[in-house]
Amino acid sequence: MIILAIIFGALVFIGLIGFLFPRKVHVERTLILDTSIEKVWTQVSELENFGLWNPWAKKDPNIEIEITGTGKGSKYKWKGNRSVGEGSLEITNLEQNRKVDMELLFGRNPNPATTSIILQSEGIKTKITWTMDTDMGNNPAGRYMGLFMDKFVGKDYEIGLENLRNVCENN
């Protein structure tokens, strides 16, 4: 009985600690590309081009993708293996040669994340920043998961930006 009480107490303690972790998560990666802002804009503003450089498509060669619409309001839906899961991405705002805002729904999570791709011209080069902001809610397990978001999503963003560099600089 004492052992069960200790285990129960430890689980409650771990759960309560989860509430101390941040609710909001921000992930951001930046890269400078040796190409014009117009060339980068073509790749990031149309979801039809997303498959050429996004870091998740290569993790599942059998991924199912559905793209609807163009420009603002267009959607990119996917369903894949455990590495990529399923979800959707919708363009919510476009600022020509400056910014693409998207709403990201992943798996069964009803809370969307906001992701943005921000472009800045630096002479003949383009600085690109890819961000994600999400609310992990009141669930302590979600907040624990939030501690690792920068590591995992950030790594994928780095790969995606390198893929984008290859697409833009070599075509």
pLDDT digits (tens, 9 = 90+) for 117-144: 999 999 899 999 999 999 888 887 777 7
Between 6 and 70, the higher pLDDT residue: 70
Give the global pTM: 0.87
Sketch out the chain's domains with CATH numbers.
2-169 (3.30.530.20)
Question: Stretch 63-85: mean pLDDT, rounded?
Answer: 93
pLDDT band at 49 (very low <50, low <70, confident <90, very high): very high
pLDDT band at 23 (very low <50, low <70, confident <90, very high): confident
Helices (H) and strands (E) in the chain, counts: 5, 7
Nearest alpha-carbon partner for 106 in 149, 68, 73: 149
CA distances to 31, 66, 99, 152, 167 from 155, rounded to whole Å, are 13, 25, 21, 5, 19
